[in-house]
């Protein structure tokens, strides 16, 4: 039988003394990695007669898939909705900084903006793999401008748009290009939205329902046309009503097409959603829950004034408001904080909390064959965490890209 060297000269790394999140439970196994992928040790031993070149003692840590943030507006002073000359260096900075919070892939999110902003920014966002330079970019999330005036939240009203005749062409003209777009949030009650949802879905773009006054039947129709996600459940939508639960009703709807799952984002920062609401959503539809940060430029910075696209926002503790109002405008929570808060608020298992930030967003985007799991042959994007779910180290493609230093910083 051949040795492992005849198959590949790349070193094999064995992570031992750890609990691996696999098949929805923490298992006491070793993790084997080669060339950025997770190896099946049985094939390695029996087919290749191979062994580890490097052994790492994880000292009892949890190993979980890297977090995937599908809604992040910026952070560390960088606003993804501001067209600046050094936009690329800004996105590089955020992708590097979020490694310490366990994020290995993300969707930079643009809030409602004038067409000129989309035309300037979107060509500067490119899908790329993660590495020591930072988390991977999965494509942009465009939140607006095709949303409801009544539920605009922190989105500037003068930039909102409706679908005119030739609705999809109108959307293309607004954004300029869909080349790097992964998610579009829109309000499904808008006239001609069904046509747009169908066209976006055909192109492999995830359609999310949000900033909306849609009733349940409008939301169900949108799902039947291809929508699969709800943008920050409970926020910027009609509140749950027992006679017409609105978009929230999708969590238990019997009108979802067979074989389709509706996912929903939740900002688990202790501000945007009461713990009781988190528990209701989680118990109603646990497999659809996707943790998002909805973080703004002020994440990682001191309280004060910052931007969110066209608006000025103020950070007061963990609250972020449009300046001079009490309208919430994104969060300053990091993904690891959201995971811990979610687990504490719902009392769910550690496995469920970790999967809400990894497996579920990967399933939403249809990339769970390679990301969001630690299955054999998937990308070796993973985290080491302690029992309190604090990130100790972050790996992308099997390479350590961040580690907490010994001083605890």
Binding site listing for Zn(2+):
143, 211, 232
Q: CA of 319: how far to CAs of 211, 239, 240, 298, 325, in Å?
A: 20, 21, 24, 11, 12
- Report how far residue 276's alpha carbon sits from residue 284's, in angstroms, rounded to the nearest whole number: 12
Q: Which residues have a Cβ under 8 Å from the Cβ of 159 and sit 6 or more positions away?
A: 112, 113, 114, 144, 145, 310
Catalytic annotation on 294? yes
- Report how far residue 211's alpha carbon sits from residue 230's, in angstroms, rounded to the nearest whole number: 10
Q: Which residues have a Cβ under 8 Å from the Cβ of 184 and sit 6 or more positions away?
A: 141, 142, 146, 171, 200, 205, 206, 207, 208
C-beta of residue 122 within 8 angstroms of C-beta of residue 85: no
Q: Which residues are annotated as a binding site?
A: 143, 154, 211, 232, 235-236, 243, 272, 328-330
Count CA atoms closer than 13 A to 275's CA, side-chain side.
11
Q: Which of 294, 336, 368, 379 is catalytic?
A: 294
Which of 307, 326, 77, 308 shows the shortest CA–CA distance to 316? 326
For CA atoms 189, 195, 196, 201, give the dihedral sign: positive
- Report how far residue 392's alpha carbon sits from residue 387's, in angstroms, rounded to the nearest whole number: 11
Q: Catalytic amino acids? A: 294
């Amino acid at each position: 039988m051949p040795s492992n060297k005849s198959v590949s000269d790349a070193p094999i790394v064995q992570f031992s003394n750890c609990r691996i999140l696999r098949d929805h439970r923490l298992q006491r196994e070793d993790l084997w990695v080669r060339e950025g992928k997770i190896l099946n040790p049985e094939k390695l031993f029996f087919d290749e007669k191979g062994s580890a070149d490097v052994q790492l003692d994880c000292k009892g840590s949890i190993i979980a898939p890297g977090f995937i943030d599908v809604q992040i507006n910026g952070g560390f002073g960088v606003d993804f909705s501001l067209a600046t000359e050094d936009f690329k260096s800004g996105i590089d900075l955020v992708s590097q900084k979020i490694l310490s919070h366990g994020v290995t892939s993300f969707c930079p999110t643009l809030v409602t903006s004038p067409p000129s902003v989309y035309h300037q920014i979107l060509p500067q966002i490119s899908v790329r793999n993660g590495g020591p330079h930072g988390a991977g970019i999965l494509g942009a999330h465009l939140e607006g401008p095709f949303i409801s005036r009544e539920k605009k939240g922190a989105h500037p009203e003068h930039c909102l748009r409706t679908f005119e005749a030739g609705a999809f062409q109108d959307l293309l003209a607004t954004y300029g290009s869909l080349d790097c777009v992964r998610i579009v949030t829109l309000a499904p009650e808008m006239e001609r939205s069904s046509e747009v949802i169908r066209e976006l879905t055909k192109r492999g773009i995830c359609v999310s329902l949000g900033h909306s006054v849609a009733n349940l039947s409008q939301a169900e129709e949108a799902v039947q046309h291809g929508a699969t996600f709800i943008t920050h459940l409970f926020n910027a939508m009609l509140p749950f009503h027992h006679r017409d639960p609105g978009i929230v009703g999708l969590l238990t709807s019997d009108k979802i097409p067979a074989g389709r799952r509706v996912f929903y984002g939740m900002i688990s920062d202790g501000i945007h959603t009461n713990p009781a609401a988190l528990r209701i959503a989680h118990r109603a539809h646990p497999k659809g829950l996707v943790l998002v940060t909805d973080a703004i430029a002020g994440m990682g910075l001191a309280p004060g004034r910052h931007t969110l696209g066209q608006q000025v926002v103020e950070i007061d503790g963990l609250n972020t408001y449009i300046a001079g109002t009490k309208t919430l405008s994104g969060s300053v929570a990091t993904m690891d904080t959201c995971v811990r808060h979610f687990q504490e608020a719902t009392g769910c298992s550690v496995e469920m909390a970790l999967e809400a930030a990894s497996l579920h967003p990967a399933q939403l985007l249809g990339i769970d064959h390679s990301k969001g799991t630690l299955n054999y042959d998937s990308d070796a994007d993973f985290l080491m965490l302690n029992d309190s779910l604090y990130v100790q180290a972050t790996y992308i493609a099997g390479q350590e890209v961040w580690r907490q230093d010994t001083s605890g910083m």
